[in-house]
Structure 1
Amino acid sequence: MDGKTPDYELEDRIALTGPDQVRALGNPLRTTILGLLHERAASVTELAGAVGRPKSTVAHHVKVLADAGLLRVVRTRRVRAVEEAFYGRTARLFYVALDGADAGADGARPVDFNDFEVAARESRPAYLEGELWGFLRHARIDEAQKQEFWQRMAALVEEFDALPRRGDVVHGFAVGVYPVADYPQLPPASDDER
């Protein structure tokens, strides 16, 4: 490989089109496994050691991810008489593209599909230590502007994912765009003010 992260070939983006794929992402251990595999391919043994969980538990979660098409075996090696599999992600970025029929009666994502809840929980110790960097801005924009801006954020996430791994500290990076129902708004500017 050319030093890129991770050390195997994968798609840039894959749309999650089935509820089983979205549910596979709904478990914190599975999202951690996917996060670890941004760095390099790993065996179940390596993943179990990294997350401090039994191999059987990690093997179950790896199977769920593989069955959902989010992981695949990217290489193998012979260890004694056993073939050891190394797993990698199928894409750098997974995004939800459910239609109303697949998403549930109301067309919504599952309630446990919330990266901001994970980011809030993970970032609390950094906040308490004065090590949390962040910005929050509000802007009145239309749907087209929101979609365009989201594509730019997705590109930035891909750039973050591809950074070479070094140093001793793992850093989180969260981005999002969301509607705010009761945020104050100025009325549109009059023609005289433009």
Structure 2
Amino acid sequence: MPNNTRFPDYALADVTDVTAPAQLRALASPLRNAILELLLERAATVSELALALGRPKSTVAHHVSALADAQLLKVVRTRRVRAIEERYYGRTARIFRVGPVSPTDSPATPYCTNDLATAAAESAPAHQADELSSIVRHVRIPREQAREFWARVLELANDYAQLPREGDVVYGFAAGLYPTDHPALPEAEPAAGDPH
């Protein structure tokens, strides 16, 4: 039975807008995103993160330092082990919402990874094994309604991140909302006798 009723096990903001180029560059790294994802469960040391990721401790320490410099991670507690003080790192927010990028930055250089492309690559084995659940829908709606719907999706993603940690398989949850060139029907003609 899990001993946490709320994840992660430290205080953090719900949403932080990320606009600084250093923050955006930090989020563009798949390894840094994996670190941030792990820290949604609980605070962890560099050693614990390195073990979970199967990467050298020095590599993980470098990326943790970059995330901390970008104010996406912080030390949430310490513990004395023999003569060494272990630092436990945590996120500064549950959700990092990418805000407008400064016009002085090069638009040709994407700062953020395409999470749907990452999910597509990650889900390929599940697709081959017929264990993938996915759905795509296209709806013609106003931009404000799309923003409101996305806020609901973020709430659902946060609920997903709060599920008790049990079992032996890590399941991915991906969502995206994006404008398309998908065809749309014209406005419906009023039916005969319809006053509208």
TM-score, normalised relative to structure 1: 0.92
Q: 2:49 aligns with which of 47, 50, 59?
A: 47
Aligned residue identity for 2:173 = F
Q: Tell me, what secondary structure is at the counterpart of 2:103?
A: helix
Q: Which residue does 2:18 correspond to in 1?
A: 16
User: Which one of the candidate residues 61, 64, 67 is aligned to 1:62?
Assistant: 64
- Is structure 2 residue 147 aligned with structure 1 residue 150? no
- 8 Å CA contact 1:25–1:113 kept in 2: the answer is yes
- Post-superposition CA distance 1:164-192 (Å, at most 9, x none): 211111111111111111x2221110122
Structure 1 residue 144 displacement after superposition:
1.3
Which structure has the larger Rg over C-alpha atoms? 2
What is the SS of the residue equivalent to 2:32? helix
Distance in structure 1 (CA, Å) of the matches to 2:102 and 2:86: 40
Equivalent residue runs for 1:108-147 within 5 Å: 110=110, 112-147=112-147
CA contact (8 A) 1:13 1:91 kept: yes
Separation in structure 1 between the aligned mates of residue 43 and residue 11 of structure 2, nearest angstrom? 10
Measure, in 2, the Cα distance between the counterparts of 1:174 and 1:10.
Answer: 22
C-alpha displacement of 1:124: 0.4
Question: TM-score, with normalisation over the residues of structure 2?
Answer: 0.91
Deviation readout 1:89-136 (Å, 9 max, x if unpaired): 11111110124426x244x87165211111011100111111110111
Moved over 3 A (4+): none
| 1:74 counterpart SS class | strand
Aligned to 1:72: 74
Structure 1: 5+ residue runs without aligned partners?
none
**Matched-pair contact (CA < 8 Å) for 1:48–1:54:** yes
CA distance in 1: counterparts of 2:106 and 2:48, whole angstroms: 40
Superimposed CA distance per residue, residues 23-43 of structure 1 (whole angstroms, 9 cap, x where no aligned partner): 101111100011111111110
Partner of 1:185: 184
Note if contact 1:92-1:161 (Cα within 8 Å) is conserved in structure 2. no
Counterpart Cα distance in 2 of 1:58 and 1:10: 22
Alpha carbons of 1:161 and 1:25: their partners in 2 closer, same or farther (altered >3 Å)? same
- Give the RMSD, CA atoms, in angstroms: 1.8
User: Equivalent residue for 1:35?
Assistant: 37
Residues of 2 paired with 1:2 and 1:157: CA distance?
18
Structure 2 unaligned regions, length at least 5:
none
